[in-house]
Amino acid sequence: MAKYSTFILGQPSLDINTDFNGTTIRAIGGAVVYSGYSASSLGHKTAVLPKAAADIDVDAVFQDAANVTVFHLSSSSSTSISNVYHTADRERRTCKAISRIAPYKVEEIPDVDAAIYHVAGLMVGDLGEDIIAYASQKAMAAVDVQCLLRRDENGEMVFRDWDQKLEYLPKIRFLKTDTAEAEILTGLTDRVEAAKQLHAWGAAEIMITNSAEVLIYDGKEIYTQPIKARDLSGRTGRGDTCFSAYITERLTQDIPQALLTATALVSLKMETPGPFRGSREDVERYIQEFYR
């Protein structure tokens, strides 16, 4: 096994989250935060490369994650995003970019020995296709497609198709989308058919999430597990948490077991705001109670 299970590239974000009932919470979020805590909570040795200005103390952000090593990149500004949720299930939201980091550059990425290089940006331009190509040369490349679809257009964040998908999907070992993103990429509303199309275009193993379940397709079979969260107060970070848990578990587990662990973990995480701060033992107890 490599020195690290996963090396996560992505910026933290100063998030301003307004719930459907008008409650506003300010917190440090971002895919790298949710993903880092998720993998490390299961005991996977995790490296992260957050990029931020001095207004975010990245060491403090990860201080409670026992298995995380923080590599540092500075930027003249940090990313800050406003999320306004319109429904109780938090499936519909309006996002606005308040500020952004300077883009990642291949030459500033440290040479880290990891089984997976996980590309976890937040908007188009954070981590470009050159980073995906580099990641695929270093290790198994895992990509959350959000950072290739979500564009900052004068502060408004809108989703557009990925023009270079046919060139770069074959470089991706693990691909994560949600249902809406899968439809943008493929034009297909059926998640199974969308997953099959993404695989046909070259991605080896696809995860598609929604509020009810997590779907995996590996080119042979469709696998699903239901999300069983009893409370949705921790909905933010659902996909990042689930994807990171899944890909790191896949280093040693088959698809059904990795999917079960990841889905149970994210179900438990969704009951509390912020990144997952539990343990593998907590996840196992949740599985015994709700999945057996």
For the structural domain made of 4-290, what CATH number should be given?
3.40.1190.20
* Interacting residues of 153 by C-beta distance below 8 A, sequence separation 6+: none
Give the mean pLDDT of the chain. 94
Please state the rounded mean pLDDT for residues 145-161.
93
Please state the rounded mean pLDDT for residues 123-147.
97
* Interacting residues of 79 by C-beta distance below 8 A, sequence separation 6+: 11, 12, 13, 14, 30, 52, 97, 99, 100, 101, 122, 123, 126
Q: How confident is the model at residue 218 (pLDDT cuts 50, 70, 90)?
A: very high
Cα 213 to its chain centre, rounded Å, is: 16
Task: Please report, to the nearest 10 degrees, the dihedral formed by the alpha carbons of residues 284, 288, 290, 292 taken in order.
Answer: 130
pLDDT in tens, 59-103: 999 999 989 999 999 999 999 999 888 877 666 778 899 999 999
The CA distances from residue 206 to 161, 169, 185, in Å, are 17, 11, 13
Residue 2 has pLDDT above 80, yes or no: no
Domain assignments of the chain as residue spans, ordered by start: 4-290
Torsion sign, CA atoms 90, 80, 274, 216:
positive
pLDDT in tens, 230-284: 887 777 789 999 999 999 999 999 999 999 999 999 999 999 889 999 999 999 9
Q: Model-level pTM? A: 0.94
